[in-house]
Amino acid sequence: MDIRWKPSVTVAAVIERDGRFLLVEEHTPEGLRLNNPAGHLDPGESPAEGCARETLEETAHHFRPTALVGVYLSRFQRPDPQAGAVQDITYLRFAFCGELGQAQAGRALDTGIVRTLWMSPDEIRASRERHRSPLLLQCMEDYLAGQRFALETVRTDPSVFSPVPGI
């Protein structure tokens, strides 16, 4: 039997203001962890749209991506006690930087998100053991190095936005 490998596509926002980065603190199976505002790409949206949505859901702030920081591939493994095996997940992350807008008053943070916080690059580097993913640090370092690509680098075909007949 052939098994097709399918990485999980995620989007992340790298948000800097006055030398500090906006992160979320969230509950994970590994405990309380730090991450960029990030999440899975949903059907019917472009990566930039998914990034704006995830940022709103996790921080209650509007976000407008203005550039692609990078595309990243990482692998994560953890014990799966229910299956008696190891979960082996590969993530394909599209990280964007952009403009943070106003907070949406009264909006609750997404399930599992404890709080948002602003951290300096040195604080982020010093807290590696609390990072949900090694991509948190890599995305920040690439951003600080000035790495930016045009949003048009990631093309979304119009078929993505069209409903599929019969589904």
CATH number at residue 134: 3.90.79.10
DSSP characters over 136-162: HHHHHHHHHTT--B-GGGS---GGGGS
Tens-digit pLDDT profile for residues 8-67: 999 999 999 999 999 999 999 889 999 999 999 999 999 999 999 999 999 999 999 999
Residue 3: inside a domain, yes or no?
A: no
State how far Cα 126 lies from the chain centre: 20
Residue 21: inside a domain, yes or no?
A: yes
Residue 162: inside a domain, yes or no?
A: no
Q: How many domains does the chain have?
A: 1
Give the H or E element holding residue 92. Answer: strand 85-103
* Cα 14 to Cα 96: distance, rounded to the nearest angstrom: 6
Domain with 120, as residue range(s), is: 8-151
Residue 111: inside a domain, yes or no?
A: yes
Residue 81: inside a domain, yes or no?
A: yes
Q: Is the pTM of this model over 0.75?
A: yes
- Rg, Å, the chain Cα set: 17
